[in-house]
Structure 1
C-alpha cells in the first residue's frame, strides 16, 4: 500500500508552462510541414485571442479596484502609488535609451531595403502626445470599457477605489462585492489560461505556415539586436534586485512559471493572475503590494515595448537614411514612454502605438509592415520581459515597505501554485 502511494507521488505531471511550450513546438512543426494548409487552425487561435481580449478589461478593472480597496487608508495608497510610478517611469526611460543605444551600436537598419509593394497598404492609427495625455481621462467609463481602453479603465478604477477607501465603513458592502467579483474574474481567467496550450498550438501553426522562416532570415540582424537589448534589460532587473538586498537568482527561478505563460500568450494582462499568485505564494510579497502595484504595472509599465520602440525608431531612420538629432532622440524617449502606456495589453497593441512614436519625429510609417512578419515572435519575448519588470518593481517596493516575507522568498523549495490567492 505504501509503495503504491509512493509511486503515485512520483507520477510526473506537466505544469501549465510546460504544456504551453510543447504546444508551441508542435505548432511550429505542424505549420512547417502543413504550410498554407495550417490556416485551417487559424479560427481556433482567433477564438483563443478573443477570449483573452474578453477578460482583459473586467480583469484590469476589478484587479486594480481590489488592490486599491485592500489598502488601509489614502496615505498608504499615495505612498505605494508614488513609489511604484516613480520606479516604473525610471525603468521605462532607461529601457527606451537602452534600445536606442543598441540600435546605434549595431546599426540593424543599414543595408536593409524596404520591399516594394508595401507602401500604403494600411495607414496605422497615429496619435499626438497631447491627445494621448488628454485621452487617458475617460469622459465615459462605460464607453472606455466597451472600446477596450485599458488606461482609461485604470484611471476610472483608481478614482473609484480611492473614493471608496475615503468613505470608510460605509463602503464595506461594496468592498465585499468587489472581492467576490475579483475572485470570479480570477476563476474565469484560470479557465481561459487552461486553454493556452491549444491556442498557442493553433496560433504558431498558422504563423509558421503562413510566413515561414524566410522573413526572420531577412531581418535576422534586427531581431538579434532586439533580443540582445531585451536580454541586457533582463539582467538589469537582477542587478536591481541584488542592490535591494535580495538574491536575484531566486527571483529569476520563481518567475519561470509566469514568464513561460507570458511568452506563450504574448499578453501581460492574461498573465496577471498567475504572476500575482507567484508573488504572494512563492516570493512572500504582501497582499496589498501584489494586488495594487502589479496590476498598475501591467497597465502602464512596458519596458520591453519601450525598448522595441527605441530600436525600431533608429532602425527605420537608418533604413530610410535619416540622421536623427539629439532633440529627436529626446522626443523618441518621451513618445515611447507615453506610447508604452497606451499600448494595449493583448497581442498586437504595440504596432498601433508604433505609428505615434515614428510620426512624432517625422519618420515614414511604411517600414512598419516590414517587421510585422516577425513581430509576433518578438512580442512574445517582449511580454516576458514586461511581466518580469512588473514583478520586479512590485517586489522592490514591497521590500522597501518592509512587508516582504523574506523567509518565503529565500525558500527555494517553496511549493509552487498556479492558483491565485486573494
Structure 2
C-alpha cells in the first residue's frame, strides 16, 4: 500500500505542475479582465503575493545553479577522464556526443528563428537586465574570460564560462590521478548527490511557483501570452522530432547501413519508458538490455557508453535551451548577434556535459546559458509551467541519442550481432 502511494506521489508532481499552469493562466486572465485596478490588485496581489512567491521560486532555482553545475561538471569530467583506458571507444563516443549536441542546438536555433515563438510578447526588461543586454562584449575578451583570474570571484558572481573551464580541469585531473585523490573525488560525487536531492526538493515547490509566475504573466498581458506559449511548445516539439527521427536516423544509416525504421521499432518501448519517467538515469538498465537482446549491441560497449551518455549527452535538453534563448530574446525584444548565437551553441554544448539525468534539471542550466549571452533569467518564468510536459519528450530524445551512438560505435568496433538486429523479436 505504501509503495503504491509513493508511486502515486511521484506521478503527482508533473500533474500538479500542469494543473498549476492551467489554473494560473485562468486566474491571471480573470485578474486581467475582471478584477478592477487598484491598490489590492496591483500592489498586494500582482506585485506582492504573486511576485514574491513566483520570484522566490526562481531564486531557489538560481541558488542551485553554481554548486550544481560545478559538481556535475567535475563528475562528468571524471567520467570522461576514465575513458582514456578505453582508447578509441571512449574518444569516438565523446566526439559523437559533443557533435550531436552541437547539431541539436543548431536545429533548435534554426527552427525557433523560423517560427519566431516570442515575437509579440513585448515584455519589459527588468532594470538590471537592461544594462546587461545592451552591453557589447568584445569576442577576444570573451575567449580570455573563459580562463578565470580568481575562481572564487567567478563562483560568487555566477560567471559560468570560467566555472565550466575550472570544473572540467579539476575533473580531468581527478580522473588522471586516480586513487591518490579518491577522498576529493568522493567529496565531489557525494556533494553532487546532495545537489541532486536539493534540486528534487526545490522542484516540489514548483506547482506554487509556476502558479504564481504564470498568473502574474497573464494578469499583465491577458490572452496575448497564449499564442507565443503554443508557438514555443511547437518549436521545441518540432526540433525534438527532427533531431530524433531525422538527424539520428541519418547518422545511423550513414555509419552502419542499418535500417532506421527497424531500429526505432525495436527501441520504441525504451523511448516510452523514458517519456513516462522523465529521467535518463532510470532508463539505463532497460536501454542496455534492449540494445543487447533486440538490437545486437555487445554489453561490453553499451555498459560504458549508455551511463556516460546519461551524464554528458543531453541533446533534448540542449534543444529546449536553444529554443528558449530565441523565445526569451524575442519576448524581451533583444536582438541576438551572430557572436551571441555562437556563444549559445558553445555554452549549451558544454553545459550538457554537466546536466544530470533527473527531471527538469535543464531549467537550472538554462539560466547559465541565458547569463552567457546577457539575457534576463526572469525569462525562465515564461516557460516554467509547460516545461514538465516537454521534459518528458526531451528525455526520450536524450536516451535515443545515447542508443544510436552506442550502436554506431559497437558496429565499428565489431561488437555488433546483425542476426539479432534482423530477427523479429
TM over 0.5: same fold?
A: yes
Contact 1:310 1:336 (8 Å CA) reproduced: no
2:237 to 226, 231, 242: 231
| CA displacement at 1:203 relative to structure 2 | 0.4
What are the superposed Cα offsets for residues 173-231 of structure 1, whole Å, 9 maximum, x if unpaired?
A: 3246524641453255235414533x112202321443336636214333332222211
| CA displacement at 1:67 relative to structure 2 | 1.2
Which residue is 1:271 aligned to?
A: none
Q: Distance in 2 between matches of 1:179 and 1:369?
A: 32
Contact 2:325 2:370 (8 Å CA) reproduced: no
Change (3 A) 1:213 1:83: same
Q: Distance in 2 between matches of 1:251 and 1:329?
A: 39
Secondary structure of the equivalent of 1:138? coil
Which residue is 2:355 aligned to?
A: none
Aligned length: 356
2:282 to 272, 278, 283: 278
Contact 1:138 1:152 (8 Å CA) reproduced: yes
Secondary structure of the equivalent of 1:137? coil
Which residue is 2:145 aligned to?
A: 135
Change (3 A) 1:149 1:67: farther
Q: Distance in 1 between matches of 2:153 and 2:212?
A: 33
Normalising by structure 2, report the TM-score: 0.64
Alignment of 1:327-342 (within 5 A): 333-338=341-346, 340=348
Q: Distance in 1 between matches of 2:3 and 2:310?
A: 35
| CA displacement at 1:238 relative to structure 2 | 3.0
Query: Unaligned stretches of 5+ in structure 1?
Result: 1-7, 260-273, 323-327, 357-367, 411-422
1:398 to 406, 410, 423: 406
Contact 1:23 1:201 (8 Å CA) reproduced: yes
Change (3 A) 1:217 1:300: closer
Which residue is 1:82 aligned to?
A: 95
Which residue is 1:3 aligned to?
A: none
Query: Unaligned stretches of 5+ in structure 2?
Result: 32-44, 253-259, 292-301, 352-362
Which residue is 1:24 aligned to?
A: 17
Which residue is 1:96 aligned to?
A: 109
1:205 to 194, 207, 211: 211
| CA displacement at 1:96 relative to structure 2 | 1.4
Contact 2:112 2:327 (8 Å CA) reproduced: yes
1:190 to 179, 182, 197: 197
What are the superposed Cα offsets for residues 102-134 of structure 1, whole Å, 9 maximum, x if unpaired?
A: 33xxx974xx4857x769674152445444433
Change (3 A) 1:40 1:93: closer
Q: Distance in 1 between matches of 2:59 and 2:190?
A: 24
Q: Distance in 1 between matches of 2:196 and 2:249?
A: 33
Contact 1:342 1:353 (8 Å CA) reproduced: no
What are the superposed Cα offsets for residues 295-332 of structure 1, whole Å, 9 maximum, x if unpaired?
A: 4345997222223444666x579x89x9xxxxx99667
| CA displacement at 1:68 relative to structure 2 | 2.3
Which residue is 2:321 aligned to?
A: 305
What are the superposed Cα offsets for residues 364-422 of structure 1, whole Å, 9 maximum, x if unpaired?
A: xxxx899777344466667666655544433332332329999xxx9xxxxxxxxxxxx
Change (3 A) 1:92 1:174: same
Which residue is 1:123 aligned to?
A: 130
Change (3 A) 1:53 1:22: same
| CA displacement at 1:335 relative to structure 2 | 5.0
